[in-house]
Chain A
Amino acid sequence: MTLLQERMPTATPQRRRGGLARGQALAAGGFLLPNLVLISVFLLLPLVLAFVISFEKLGSLGPGEYLGINNYADLLKDRVFWETLRNTGVFTLFSIPIAMAAGLGIAVLLNSVLPGRTLYRSIIFLPLVISGISTGVLGAWMFDQYNGFVNKFLATLGISGPSWQANGTWAMASVIIVTVWQRVGFDMLIYLAGLQGVSSEVQEAATVDGASAWQRFRHVVFPLLGPSTFFLLVMNMIYSFQVFDTVWAMTRGGPDYATTTVSTYAYRTSFDEHGPQQLGYGAAVGVVIYLITLAITAAQWRFSSTRDQTD
């Protein structure tokens, strides 16, 4: 009995720990379950279905017909698809660096002691709160080449404004400008969070070592913002390959196909009632967008040396 009593205290906590672990696991599972169900139903299942549909000839009405890889083979021969890929690349190449650089610059400014900085932060973040369609409609009004604010403003300066809507290059430029305007608030916010995590002691040490303000930013602050930069690169890249609403509202992909991105192409092919409504072909475009996004993210993960860097 004594022996048993001596053993009890050791045995009981073990059982309690086990019970506690199981309890914790159950609790964790309980919390996770709703999210897992939602992810499965609204993310994974549609993803799998999109893969399945991409192998079918499927219209908006009637049953599908299995095509094998024909949709993908057609994609390779589709001149418009390659043009949309190129457009998306141009859009990405110009919009991300500009938005991130502007976001970083504004974040550095608004991270310092500045009267009314909360108000400025809110103003810069505001476009992100507005829906993309609304932003696009605003953009279409602003960049209307005959009656828009931009060209009327340029006219007051004696400058003849460009053909924002009739010329493909300028149309893409207008879309990029509006996108940068919309996205810069998000980039600023993430960089602001990153900047507030940079230790002042490190910067003071650099100052003591004789580093100038630019040197402190270039060699101390910016490297420490590595995780923020990595996060923004990935998020902006994903956004770029999914950009739809702003482009659709501003240009409908025109003129010609000059601003048609892979997402607007997928939408027009699949869901636009005035489009061909080829759901299978559109799904194949969607799968390609998914794979490209996945590849870019994996490459950035693999090659970004500062993704996990902290102070």
Chain B
Amino acid sequence: MALTRRGFLGGAVGAAALVGLGACSSKHSDGTSSDAAGSAPASSGGASTAAGSKASSGPVTGKLTFAFWGGSVGETAGFTYAKKKFEEANPGATVQLKAVPYDGFFSGIDRGIQAGNAPDIFRVDYTTIGKYSAKGVLLDLTPYVSAAESDAFLPALWEAVKFDGKPYGVPHQTDTTCIVYNKAAFASAGITAVPDKLSDAWTWEEFSDVATKLRSSLPDNKFPFAYDWTQAGAYRWLSWLYQAGGTLLTPDLKGTALPSAEATKAMDFTKSFFDNKWVPKTNTIKTSVYSDNFFLNQTVPMTFIGDFLVPELADAKSGYKGGDWGATYMPQSTAAASDLGGNAIVALKDTKNPDLAAAFLKFLVTEDCMKYFCEQAIELPTLKSLSSESLQYVSRPDVVAVCAQQAATISDTVVKESTVPAFASINTLLQDQLELAFHNQSSEATLKNIASGVTKALAG
């Protein structure tokens, strides 16, 4: 199965994202502030003249701990494989894996950093990495990564781990949202054709038509679809904003672009999901039922999910029991868009053995380790070489192929805005305001509140 998003991600994103991220400014924990506005963007190998000076430092020894949230069996298998291979390649090096539940993961990391006993290396999502890099707690990988090595990554994902032009981690994998649907339910509703090419993705009007047909074919306690904006996934609402042609922030990332006509259009449309009974009333932000749960318990015949959930749905024992299911693309309006999912791996600045930590980070993103990890965990690689190679996914490669194509719609704007240091705060703001919007707060008030909240978050 060929992953075909290389063309887009490989070409369109780089320059604009470089300029955008280079313009980020942030207060630091020591009270100083950095403002790179106007500074020259860093080269892909990093801004320092010492870029890549330790890129090939030879075998390393010592001990380090690597904390990650225990997502799936496939992810654990992928990390275990990398640890084993790394220890074999570096006699005298020991990696202690610490699988921690996702709930409370970052709180634990923060407490550890404050107390001085945090793991040397940890996993972090792209929407949170900015918080750590801006606070100056991560190891700057500039001396360890050569220009050739950094060029090996899809430019958008490499930009996602950079702050002020310097890399503070390695992009380990990515994922994004696509649609899965029940084929029999579609047939019952008279939906005979589903887009099988990204360029043919439903327009909002076509998507509305599909939802309307499903609504009329379903009983009152079933709903056409569910969306994956529950809790920390609130930021995935932004995909509708981008599809409408809007943005969250101004191009220099220093202010909010809200309110706007595009944002009103996106907010009105998403609010209509509830008014039209296209989604369950409980498919809001503050709930314990996620979009995949609605699909698994057959409350909806169609749902938006991250590709990392494909193994869960495909599981023979506890997976989807509603019959044959397929996948298609996110709808599009003025533009096609999807969210930047996935995770980077970072090391602490204060790690006792930075050379060892950097070596392990680089080992995790070698072709062999990344390929094995992505195949096991049903996630998408970040290396250009793998993005054009056929990966042997352990389940539903046809669905992963759709997600991989969908990933081409992760634009430079999505990457830039999703990785600003304040994004974690912005995501919290979105959680609260979207929850209110989906319970009758007007679009105007919601956008006004989001705008003022974003301004406050950007100011620190």
Which B residues are in CB contact (< 8 Å) with A252?
Answer: 231, 286-288
The 4 closest A-B CB pairs, nearest first, are: A254-B286, A62-B29, A166-B281, A273-B106
Contact assessment for A147 and B287 in the assembled complex, using a CB-CB cutoff below 8 Å: no
Extra contacts besides A252-B286, A273-B110 (18): CB < 8 Å: A60-B111, A61-B113, A61-B132, A137-B288, A140-B288, A146-B221, A163-B281, A165-B287, A166-B284, A249-B288, A250-B288, A252-B231, A254-B285, A254-B435, A255-B286, A255-B435, A274-B424, A275-B428
The answer to whether B282 has its CB under 8 Å from any CB of chain A is: yes
CA distance A237 to B327 in the complex (A): 51
The answer to whether A256 has its CB under 8 Å from any CB of chain B is: yes
Contact assessment for B428 and A274 in the assembled complex, using a CB-CB cutoff below 8 Å: yes
Interface class of chain A by DSSP? loop
The answer to whether B427 has its CB under 8 Å from any CB of chain A is: yes
Interface residues of A in 163-201 (CB under 8 A from B): 163, 165-166
Which B residues are in CB contact (< 8 Å) with A274?
Answer: 231-232, 424, 427-428, 431
Chain B residue with Cβ nearest A141: B288
Instruction: State the Cβ distance, B100 to closest chain A Cβ, in Å.
Output: 12
Contact assessment for A61 and B114 in the assembled complex, using a CB-CB cutoff below 8 Å: yes
Chain B residue with Cβ nearest A249: B288
Indicate with 1 or 0, residue by residue over B110-145, a CB within 8 angstroms of chain A CB atoms.
110110000000000000100110010100000000
Given A254-B435, A274-B431, check contact A166 B282 (CB 8 Å).
Answer: yes
Given A147-B297, A252-B288, check contact A63 B29 (CB 8 Å).
Answer: yes
CA distance A63 to B135 in the complex (A): 11
Interface residues of B in 24-38 (CB under 8 A from A): 28-30
Partner of A276, one of B28, B289, B428: B428
Indicate with 1 or 0, residue by residue over A267-280, a CB within 8 angstroms of chain B CB atoms.
00001111111000
The answer to whether B105 has its CB under 8 Å from any CB of chain A is: yes
Interface residues of A in 244-284 (CB under 8 A from B): 249-256, 271-277
Instruction: State the Cβ distance, B345 to closest chain A Cβ, in Å.
Output: 17
Which B residues are in CB contact (< 8 Å) with A163?
Answer: 281
The answer to whether B439 has its CB under 8 Å from any CB of chain A is: yes
Interface residues of B in 65-113 (CB under 8 A from A): 104-107, 110-111, 113
The answer to whether B203 has its CB under 8 Å from any CB of chain A is: no
Contact assessment for B286 and A253 in the assembled complex, using a CB-CB cutoff below 8 Å: yes
Interface residues of A in 135-161 (CB under 8 A from B): 137, 140, 144-147
Contact assessment for A146 and B282 in the assembled complex, using a CB-CB cutoff below 8 Å: yes
Which B residues are in CB contact (< 8 Å) with A146?
Answer: 221, 280, 282, 297, 299
Instruction: State the Cβ distance, B452 to closest chain A Cβ, in Å.
Output: 14
Contact assessment for B439 and A256 in the assembled complex, using a CB-CB cutoff below 8 Å: yes
Which A residues are in CB contact (< 8 Å) with B280?
Answer: 146
CA distance A39 to B427 in the complex (A): 38
Chain B residue with Cβ nearest A274: B232
CA distance A271 to B131 in the complex (A): 15
Instruction: State the Cβ distance, B426 to closest chain A Cβ, in Å.
Output: 11
Contact assessment for B281 and A145 in the assembled complex, using a CB-CB cutoff below 8 Å: yes
Which A residues are in CB contact (< 8 Å) with B104?
Answer: 271, 273
Chain B residue with Cβ nearest A136: B288
Contact assessment for B110 and A277 in the assembled complex, using a CB-CB cutoff below 8 Å: yes
Interface residues of B in 207-227 (CB under 8 A from A): 221
Which B residues are in CB contact (< 8 Å) with A62?
Answer: 28-30, 135
CA distance A231 to B338 in the complex (A): 56
| 6 A/B residue pairs, CB under 8 Å, sorted by A | A61-B131, A62-B135, A146-B282, A254-B287, A256-B436, A277-B110
The answer to whether B425 has its CB under 8 Å from any CB of chain A is: yes
Which B residues are in CB contact (< 8 Å) with A147?
Answer: 297, 299
Contact assessment for A273 and B289 in the assembled complex, using a CB-CB cutoff below 8 Å: no
Which A residues are in CB contact (< 8 Å) with B232?
Answer: 274
Instruction: State the Cβ distance, A113 to closest chain B Cβ, in Å.
Output: 44
Contact assessment for A165 and B135 in the assembled complex, using a CB-CB cutoff below 8 Å: no
Interface residues of B in 358-375 (CB under 8 A from A): none
Instruction: State the Cβ distance, A251 to closest chain B Cβ, in Å.
Output: 7
Which A residues are in CB contact (< 8 Å) with B282?
Answer: 144-146, 165-166
Which B residues are in CB contact (< 8 Å) with A61?
Answer: 29, 110, 113-114, 131-132, 135, 137
